[in-house]
Structures are given as C-alpha cells and as structure tokens.
Chains A and B, each alone.
Chain A
C-alpha cells in the first residue's frame, strides 16, 4: 500500500467546510494524486455538524478515514474540533479555529458548551495550533474569508508545498469571483502567519 494522507475537516453547517475541502482536493489533484473526498451532509445541515474526509495518495480505496488515522484535523469551530479529536492519529496535528458557534440547545440551557475545548484537546496529549480565524476573517472585512484563513493555516502541514494550495485557492476565486482574489490572498497569508508560517512571495 502506498502512503496515503488523511485530512479530516470539521465544523458547523454554513461555515464553508465542504468548499475548503474541495479546494484541498483540487490542490492534490493538480499534483496527479488519486483523491477521494466524502462528507456527511444530510438534510441541509444548516447549523448542524459537518465533517468532510479527504484522502489522497497513489491509489485511494475507501473514502472514509478510520478513527485514529487522520494526519491532520482542521477544526472550523472549537467544540467540533474536540468532538472529532479521536480521529487524529498519534502524532497528528490539529489546526483549530478558537472561535465558537453556540447552538440553540446550549442557549436553551439544555447542554453546556465545553469550557476550553482547545485546552481539553491539549490535555489529551494532542498537538493543537489554535487561533481565532473568525476574528481574523472579520478584521479582513468578511467573516466568509474564515475558510481561506483555515486553509492558509494548514498550508505548511501538507505533504506538498504551500504554494500549491494557495494557487488552488486563488484559481477558484480567479475564475468565479475575481474581485475576491486579493482578499483571499490576504486571508490565506493571515492564516499561515497565525500558526507561525512565513509569508509567501506574492
């Protein structure tokens, strides 16, 4: 069996989890990997749990990541990152948006939101890079840039150069929404820097 990279992206319906995974997939395809991607997205899933599995390598068979075999966990929301912690392999890395989306069941007082999900993950012995992607995106002018911030953050944790992912992000907006290219370039770099990465040449 050839080496396969497993990436689990999780978050809340409406955050752009599936779009971000799609862009990661496009980057892997551009390098001629075999790629499979799947998600749980029943109903409209608005406000519900969304997970997207991405696997790439020479040949990919099953589309699903086995618990304990994800190389990378990309959490778009901190409690969701905690929920899916068991998917990470020993020594894997979690990139977590420390921003919170509190669901109605918590507002109604039926359940508690975990006090500090990131601290809890670290206490489990996981390697976690946490940063407030929601605020970074909002400061850049649009909360919807959050998924590009997350992609920027994971760019240096992939088995291919960060430029490949950035090209995939910009290519997507370059054809569909050219006016958003610059904002997404900034969001991507902000995400990279949030986890200590260097800026790429423009």
Chain B
C-alpha cells in the first residue's frame, strides 16, 4: 500500500512527542531519515514515512541507520536517525567515530529512553553517550518542546559541525500535547567535498582531528550558558530550588508551583556557571533527573552543593507522586497518609501472545520437550518465557540468542552433557544482529538447533516491514530475503535447514527431535505470518463439545487466549494419583481457526463451530 498523503498545513495540532519530532524533522528540510523500530521511538519513522520530499527507511539495525544518516550528512544533506536506548548501544560504534569526523549537513539522533521500563530489557540513561562522545544533548519536556528542540538541534548541529542527540523518554514519546507547527523549508545540499583527512578515519587522519571534539565541546558549553533552551522560572518559595531536565520539569512545576526552577534543555555540556548563580539564590538545590545522578555529579564536581539521588529514586519515573513525598522528607516534614483508597491486589495481567499466533505452536512444542536449554531473544516470542510455556532460559539483547547458545554449548559441563541447546530468534531480529551469531555457530562447529520464527513482520513493535517481508517502509515491493538460502550461505548444511508449518505440531515436534539429536548446527524455519499483519486470513472458528471434554487441560497448555476454563475439578487416577481437571470453552468470536488446540485434544472434543462436525485430531506424543 504505497502511501502518498497530503501533509497537514501549519496549525495547532495535538501531537505525541514522536509525532512532533517527525513533523519538525520534515519541516527542517531533512532529506534522509532512518531507524530500526523500537519502543518508545517507533512511531517517529512511521509518521515521517508519510511525509513527501525525503527518503525514509527501516534499516536492519540502529548502527546501519546511523551510518545512512552520516552518509547523507557527508554530502551536505540534513539527516536524521531514531532509536531506543538499547539501540544506541548497537549504533555506538558509528557514533564514536562520527564524533571525530564531525558532520556537514545537520545530523540529529533521537534516542528514546524507556524510563520506567514499559517494554525493554534494561533501563539506561542515554545522556551518558553525550558525555562519552562529546556531543551536545537536548532534552525536551513535552511535545511542544520536542518539536521546537528538533528544529533547534539541526541548527546547533550545523553551527558546531557535530551530531546532536535529542534525548527523549517514554513520557515524551507517548504523551500527546498541543503543538503549533510550521511549514517545510527546502535546503539544497552543498555537495560532497573530497577530503580524506576529514572523512577517512585511519590513525594518521583521525589523530589530528581528536582535539576538534574538545574545541567543539567548549563552544557547546559557552552556548549552553546563554541558550534560551536553558532558563530559570522564578518562585516565591526559596527553600528548595529545583534543577530539572526533560519531562521532570513538568512534574516539578506541577508538584511545586511556587518553587524556583532551573530548566535544562541543552543539558550537555551543562551550563555550570549559570547553575552556580542559581544555587546562590536558594537555600538548597534539588536536582531532578531521570534516571542517573549525572547532572548532580557534574554540579558537585564543580563545587555546587546539591541534593539528588540521596532523596530521589535512582530508577523509574519522577512523577509528582514520587517527588512530593521525597521533597517533604528533605524538608524534614511528616509525609501524610494518602487521601485515597489503598491500591488493590489483583492478579497480574501480562501481555499475551495473540489468538492463533504461530509462536503458540512453537512454544507449546518446546514446553513438551525435556532436557533442552532454550536461548531466547527480543521480540513477541520473548513472551514464551511466561505461562503456560515457561520455555525460555535466557534473553539478553537483540540477536544474542545465537551467541549465547554457542556459549552454552561450549561451556557446559557434565551435568548438562545430555541436554540439547536450542536458540530462538525472529526474522527481523535475525537480520538485525542474529546473522553474525549464526555464522559464529557454524564456524566454530556449535551444536545448536536454531528456531528461526519467520512471521514476516517486526511483530512486537506493531508489524513493521523488514528485508524478509519483501516490502519497504511505504509498503512497496522490494527483494525478499530467502532465509533458507541465507542460512546456507552462513554455513549451515542444506540438509540441516528445514522449513516447517508451526501449526502442524507433530511435524514441528519431529523436526525438533531429529535436529537436536544431530550434533551439528541446524535451523528450523517456521513459515506462518503474524496474525496482526493485514493479509492474515482467519479460518472457520472452533468450539468445544461439552460432553466430550474430559478436563485434561492439554488445550490450555497451548496458551491461546481464546480458550477459557469454565470449571475446575479433581480426579483420582487408577494409580492413586490426584490430577487437576480444567473443563474449557472456546471464545468463538475470537477464535480464528488455526487448529492448534485441536491437535493435543485426545477426546476430540474440539470441533468447527458451525456446522458442528468432528475434526480429525492428531494424538500429540508427550515425550
């Protein structure tokens, strides 16, 4: 579905931080923008891809997206890339040399930190990368600032010839507010100037450039002292003066409307002299920053007395409900009991895999296998670690299931000798960082069985395209990767590569049994698409014949959210063993007829809903 949309004219708009950044990137005359999807940054490129007059792309990983942006900057174009916090770890290799070359066309890197950890494997403070790479960091506080600071970031980048980091957090990316937008400016790139001493970073060229980073940092520091992005809000209650960066500014203003606040927008390098003057006007200073005590440490090192993480939490968001009691304690006041009903204990409700998700079959099968160690990865299929499957033993970072599995194989001792090592990875994740790991497995003769779950989408972030879907960011056709051939090229023997249907449980089980027995690298590719992408065709739904259901609960073990337990009971077997029984029904309106639950149902109690008819069930062999 190629998208050609008209762009809304300048107006007051209700935009999320991600929408606002995208709008400003477009207005700034940017010619190239790239990203790999990652919550909470994903929507920036999704929105940007609907704008005309610029190249947008999903890159295979964040490092590539940054390289693409740098290339555009080299030829004089304004360029942009976006990623989540962990993505900058991947891209850091490019960043740490880009900071030496500097940039030509304005280059802005939006990095979205998952403060509060809604969907990530860690919580990290990307502002450190600004200090590490000696590049300026801008921190907007809401959608309006995200818009204005994106425009300011391009100008700052061009003034300093430096990449600029726009540091966002979940509460910027996914908060909507009112923004006054403008129109696009067109900038014709100046063109590439051949200059190997500038762009070819061999030691002889790079070494003379190193001091430029510090000259630039000094210029940025001077700019920070006078920048309108750093400003002071006066207040009558001078007991505590707050220093706030990013969204914490709004929380401080909300919770303490009468207190003076020094608000940092251009926070790296920090305007220490301005902060020193501010500290002199209040009784004490409290630095409110998410998440690390970064400004606090810098201020203390400069001899500015302040409080920070001695009273505030080092993890999570600093919303008013966290700030208020902390500040009361700092003032030596008694913290009153909250005037509301206490939080109620209710069962946990983690996200689940979807009805008919092809991963259900994979994890059901894995959960039935004994003596396996399962190395997991980042994606929807990480949910396989949860109930009822409990079928993941590790999950580190994008693509890490490959290398981790190899390490498990090579490092195991006698106690694990008879176990099989299985690695699970998704299609997009495989291309992001997994390919290199598989190459290492084949090269070093690892005994690992890889399950490559090709559902033709970056599922977890909402079904974006990748080189395995055969479509680009606009939905237009592009060459589609052949995973079997790719794995073969990476050194897996062709007879050790199988493509199986994850809805055919016995076939999948047999393939896994056989491949884990053979002591060499193998890849099992599952080939059913994500049920949420637009061309998924549901089949006829199923229902349970009540009289036939014996309560064995095998279908519940599949983990499909459309299966509901109607009644529980206990039975005593002939052996005297007591077993739990779960009688079930299928939510017919949700069922898409994938047939996964039919297969382990021994009494053939699951049949097509209409017309009611018996379905051939396949006895599933419990190993």
**Chain A residues within 8 Å of B, Cβ to Cβ:** 1, 12-13, 22, 25-26, 29, 34-49, 60-64, 66-68, 79-80, 82-83, 85-90, 102-114, 117, 120, 124-126, 143
Contacts and interface: CB of A to CB of B under 8 A. Distances in A.
19 contacts: A1-B257, A25-B14, A26-B14, A38-B174, A45-B351, A47-B349, A47-B352, A48-B351, A60-B177, A62-B251, A79-B347, A80-B346, A87-B340, A106-B565, A108-B388, A108-B565, A112-B347, A124-B341, A125-B341
A112 B556 CA distance: 16
A104 B254 contact: no
Contacts of B446: none
B93 interface: no
Given A48-B351, A61-B254, A64-B317, 17 more contacts: A22-B176, A35-B176, A62-B251, A63-B175, A66-B319, A86-B338, A86-B342, A87-B340, A88-B340, A89-B339, A89-B340, A90-B340, A105-B347, A108-B388, A111-B347, A112-B347, A117-B346
A175 to B, nearest CB: 13
A42 B177 contact: no
A138 to B, nearest CB: 8
A5 B348 CA distance: 29
Given A35-B177, A48-B352, A67 B321 contact: yes
Contacts of B120: 42
A46 B354 contact: yes
A37 B173 CA distance: 11
Interface string B426-467: 000000000000000000000000000000000111100000
A87 B349 CA distance: 18
A183 B320 CA distance: 41
A82 B142 CA distance: 30
Interface in B227-246: none
Contacts of B460: 43-44
Given A106-B347, A108-B387, A46 B118 contact: no
A107 B319 contact: no
A60 B142 CA distance: 11
Interface in B333-378: 338-344, 346-354
B270 interface: no
Interface size class of B (residues with CB under 8 A): 35 or more
B50 to A, nearest CB: 15
Contacts of B171: 38, 63-64
Contacts of A43: 39, 118-119, 351, 380, 460
A93 B461 CA distance: 34
A45 to B, nearest CB: 5
Contacts of B354: 46-47
A53 to B, nearest CB: 9
A125 B344 CA distance: 13
B589 interface: yes
A171 to B, nearest CB: 13
Interface of B: 14, 39-40, 114, 116-120, 142, 170-171, 174-178, 247, 250-251, 253-255, 257, 317, 319-321, 324, 338-344, 346-354, 380, 387-388, 459-462, 532, 556, 559, 561, 563-565, 568, 580, 582, 589
Contacts of B321: 64, 66-67
A25 B387 CA distance: 36
A61 B253 contact: yes
Contact of B349 (A26, A48, A112): A48
Nearest to B176: A37
A25 B176 contact: yes
* A-B residue pairs, 8 tightest by C-beta: A42-B118, A42-B119, A68-B340, A48-B351, A47-B352, A111-B347, A62-B254, A38-B175
A13 B352 CA distance: 9
A43 B247 CA distance: 22
Contacts of B343: 67, 85-86
Nearest to B257: A1
A18 to B, nearest CB: 10
B6 to A, nearest CB: 14
Contacts of A37: 175-177
A143 B347 CA distance: 25
Interface centre among B14, B340, B559, B561 (most CB of A within 10 A): B340
A89 B340 CA distance: 6
B563 A126 contact: no
Nearest to A37: B176
Contact of B250 (A22, A62, A83, A103): A62
A44 B459 contact: yes
Contact of A88 (B119, B174, B341): B341
Contact of B178 (A34, A66, A79): A34
Nearest to A60: B177
A37 B174 CA distance: 8
Nearest to A38: B175
Contact of A83 (B40, B118, B344, B462): B344
A85 B344 contact: yes
